[in-house]
Chains A and B, each alone.
Chain A
Amino acid sequence: MESNAGTLETRSNRTASEREEVAALESLQFTDEIHRLMSAPATDNASSFTALLELPAPQAVQLIHSPDSAKLIAAPAPNVEDVKGGFHFPSNGGLIERAARFSVFAGEGNNKSDSPEATSNNSSANLQKAVKSEPAETESSQPLISDPTVENRGIKRKDREKVKGQTKKSKTTAKESSDDAEKLPYVHVRARRGQATDSHSLAERARREKINARMKLLQELVPGCNKISGTALVLDEIINHVQSLQRQVEFLSMRLAAVNPRIDFNFDSVFTAEGVPPQYLKELLIKLYDKRKSSGSLMDSNFSGMVMPMMWPEVQLNSNRQQYPQQLHFDAFQQPVWGREEVCNNYLTPENSLLSYDSSANSGNFLDTLNEST
């Protein structure tokens, strides 16, 4: 026991800092702590809860009455994790009991001073929730025995924790784990009750959760997949859906190919607008043609940006397609017509469209007419 106390004293500073680490329970790293706890002397034979704390007795007594509940609540945590590691089962059951009872004392002690309790409440609400869930997570039934004792005390904080621990534990852990997975750069997943805690299974669980999240997304996308349960069937549905979509695209391309012979002239008629006076358009076309001659390449996005707004708003007036016959007097200006087409051809390459967002923005306006047909 004395040797225990001596080693405990030497380790007290370390455990204090450890406790602070553990206090930030959002970033648990189980392997490190388990190793640390393994190196700690076995607290099997310790009968006093001061050994439970791995602290010398006077400090422990001080902690009981201190308003800082963070340390107190975090204290049982290392031991609980020790249990989770599954190293010393029977004795740690007793430890858990004592931890529960001790935390009861802590609660009482804190109830004496209200304001620190409030602050400590706020600061360590998460801690308490988490820590209380941890004792409940052990496989032995002893925490359950200790729970009624806690509840019988009627301490409101502990009751809240207990309720949370028992009923909503999985939800909170799931939520925490998912939050952790989303917020933090590397995955911190809380181990749930009855699940292994080594890093491999944790990583696997995180991976599985990611995959399940994506499967859910896919299920929403594919119609009729919500009712199906089971990965294989859902994947079947997804494959069928992708195949059907690809087939549809193929059929549509065949249809378009059949419609296509007219496309040159449709291009003409589409671009001309009814309400535009012919002279204005003629000037526009001539300007385009000259610009094209003067500037060597038409990869200039500014150019397209300038041209398109002039052309497209006119087309927007043309909502009725029956105006096509009336446009055809523009064809009298053969040169400008072809020139315009050439111009359009040159600057409306896909690569340019990719680079110049202007053309796409302006084409969007033009396509209002297209989309009225949808």
Chain B
Amino acid sequence: MPNLEPSPVFKRRKTEGDPVSVHRIQSNQTMKRWTTKREHQIYSSKLFQALCRSRRTSSSTSAKELHQTADRVLAITAKGTTRWSRAILAAPLTAGTNMKKHKRAKVTVHTRLRKPVVNREKRKLPVVERKLKALRRLVPGCRKLSCNNLLEETSDYIVALEMQVRAMTAITEFLSRGEAQAPTDRLGSIGNM
């Protein structure tokens, strides 16, 4: 039983070492690993355990902290193959509002004053580029990634997020159902302790 996990992981590692077909293997991985039930179970269990631990250590029930924990567990489940997972794990303590919006606004104001016509045209032309910029903001850890790699990270991120949503709904339902069935007896157990 303990050997169930290692073999698929090792197989994946071997194929990833092959530089030629990385893209193909990546796409296979994207499709398969986040959609398998096994991965779903792994994530759910890890999330559950992490929740228990965090509940025990700090009695606060902030949604943000929970969100961060869930994201970190998701990144751990990714096993470090993707940039966004590594970025999530590397910077867990950011408040989430460290945007450089003011910087961007400043730049646009200056350019507007300087060359109104030309910059208007130039700003409109790379439409795809602007959307890519927005995408870069959304996917963690992909701020300076090329278009190519960005699309790859996005596809993996989307599948991972979908799995996260599924798992979290399952856990929420499970816990709320468990609660509903036996609230009084739980109180009884508290009394015993």
Q: A242 contacts B46, CB within 8 Å?
A: no
- Min Cβ gap A187→B in Å is 11
Would you list which residues of chain A between 320 and 373 have a CB under 8 Å from chain B? 321-322, 324-325, 328, 331-332, 334, 341, 344-345, 348-350, 353-354, 357-358, 360-368, 370-371, 373
Q: A370 contacts B63, CB within 8 Å?
A: no
**CA distance in complex: A374, B179 (Å):** 17
Would you list which residues of chain A between 226 and 282 have a CB under 8 Å from chain B? 231-232, 235-236, 238-239, 241-243, 245-246, 248-250, 252-270
- Asked whether B56 is an interface residue with its Cβ less than 8 Å from the other chain, the reply is yes
**CA distance in complex: A248, B161 (Å):** 9
Q: B46 contacts A363, CB within 8 Å?
A: yes
Select which of A250, A264, A370, A373 is within 8 A of B41 by beta carbon.
A370
**CA distance in complex: A294, B129 (Å):** 60
Q: Give chain A residues whose Cβ lies under 8 Å from the Cβ of B134.
A: 239
**CA distance in complex: A185, B20 (Å):** 6
Q: Digitize A280-304: 1 where CB-to-B-CB distance is under 8 Å, 0 elsewhere.
A: 0000000000000000000001100
Whether A367 contacts B45 in the complex (CB less than 8 A), given A183-B20, A249-B70, comes out as yes
- Asked whether B51 is an interface residue with its Cβ less than 8 Å from the other chain, the reply is yes
- Min Cβ gap A63→B in Å is 37
Stretch touching chain B among A9-17, A43-51, A211-219 = A211-219
Stretch touching chain A among B21-29, B99-107, B110-118 = B21-29
- Asked whether A1 is an interface residue with its Cβ less than 8 Å from the other chain, the reply is no
Q: A371 contacts B62, CB within 8 Å?
A: no
Q: Give chain B residues whose Cβ lies under 8 Å from the Cβ of A125.
A: none
- Asked whether A222 is an interface residue with its Cβ less than 8 Å from the other chain, the reply is yes
Q: Digitize A189-225: 1 where CB-to-B-CB distance is under 8 Å, 0 elsewhere.
A: 0000000000000000001001101110110011000
**CA distance in complex: A374, B52 (Å):** 21
Q: B152 contacts A261, CB within 8 Å?
A: no
Q: Digitize B175-193: 1 where CB-to-A-CB distance is under 8 Å, 0 elsewhere.
A: 1111101100110111011
Whether A269 contacts B151 in the complex (CB less than 8 A), given A235-B131, A257-B63, comes out as no
Q: A345 contacts B5, CB within 8 Å?
A: no
- Asked whether B55 is an interface residue with its Cβ less than 8 Å from the other chain, the reply is yes
Q: A221 contacts B159, CB within 8 Å?
A: yes
Q: B138 contacts A239, CB within 8 Å?
A: yes
**CA distance in complex: A92, B70 (Å):** 67
Q: B131 contacts A364, CB within 8 Å?
A: no
Q: B6 contacts A357, CB within 8 Å?
A: yes
- Asked whether B170 is an interface residue with its Cβ less than 8 Å from the other chain, the reply is yes
Q: A263 contacts B51, CB within 8 Å?
A: yes
Whether A348 contacts B131 in the complex (CB less than 8 A), given A255-B172, A363-B45, comes out as no
Q: Which of A232, A248, A302, A350 has the most CB of B within 10 A?
A: A350
- Asked whether B2 is an interface residue with its Cβ less than 8 Å from the other chain, the reply is yes
Q: A331 contacts B63, CB within 8 Å?
A: no
Q: A217 contacts B155, CB within 8 Å?
A: yes
**CA distance in complex: A142, B12 (Å):** 53
- Asked whether A309 is an interface residue with its Cβ less than 8 Å from the other chain, the reply is yes
Whether A371 contacts B37 in the complex (CB less than 8 A), given A250-B67, A259-B172, A267-B52, comes out as yes
List 15 A–B pairs whose Cβ atoms lie within 8 Å, in order of A's numbering.
A239-B134, A246-B161, A252-B169, A253-B64, A256-B66, A262-B178, A265-B186, A301-B2, A305-B2, A345-B56, A358-B1, A360-B42, A363-B49, A365-B1, A367-B41
Q: A213-B23, A321-B178, A360-B5 given. 10 additional CB < 8 A pairs?
A: A185-B19, A185-B20, A252-B169, A252-B172, A253-B64, A255-B172, A256-B168, A269-B186, A309-B1, A364-B45
